[in-house]
Amino acid sequence: MSDFSGLPELDQKILVYIHKAGPVFPAKLAKRLASDLGEVRSRIQELCKARLLERVTGSEIVFRKDKRNAIRKHRNHTYFTLTRQGKHLLRRADTEIDVNLRPPWLQA
C-alpha cells in the first residue's frame, strides 16, 4: 500500500490513532473511534495483511508520554502497533486526519 488517501477512512483513523497514542487493543480502539468492534477487528486484520500493523510481542507493553516518562503494563489483551512500513506511509501522508485521543468518559 503506497497511498494513504486511498485507504478507507476507518483504516486511516486506526493508523493515525496508533501513531499518536501507541500500541492498542481492538476493544479500546473501537470505543475511542466510536466504531463497531467487529468492523475494527476486520480492518486491523486487513492492515496486518497489508503489513501496516503488527501484533505486539512480549509480556509487557511500554507507553511513552515523552522521552523520560514511560509506563510499563502487563499485556492482558492482543495489542497492535505500526510496522516500519506503516510509519513510512504516515510520514508521506498529505491528508490530515483528526482523531480524538481523549477517553470517552472524559468527553463532554
Query: In three state form, how does the secondary structure of 46-57 look?
Result: HHHHCCCEEECC
Residue reference for cell 480502539:
29
The answer to whether position 102 is within a domain reads no
Q: What is the pLDDT of residue 40?
A: 96
Q: What is the pLDDT of residue 1?
A: 52
Residue reference for cell 485507504:
7
CATH of the domain at 41: 1.10.10.10
| Domain housing 23 | 4-91
Q: Which residues of the chain fall short of a pLDDT of 50?
A: 108
Number of domains into which the chain is organized: 1
Q: What is the pLDDT of residue 104?
A: 56
**Distance separating alpha carbons of residues 47 and 61, to the nearest angstrom:** 21
- Of 56, 103, 62, give the one whose Cα is nearest residue 77: 56
CB atoms within 10 A of CB 54: 17
- Of 62, 69, 25, give the one whose Cα is nearest residue 44: 25
The answer to whether position 108 is within a domain reads no
Q: What is the pLDDT of residue 57?
A: 83
pTM: 0.80
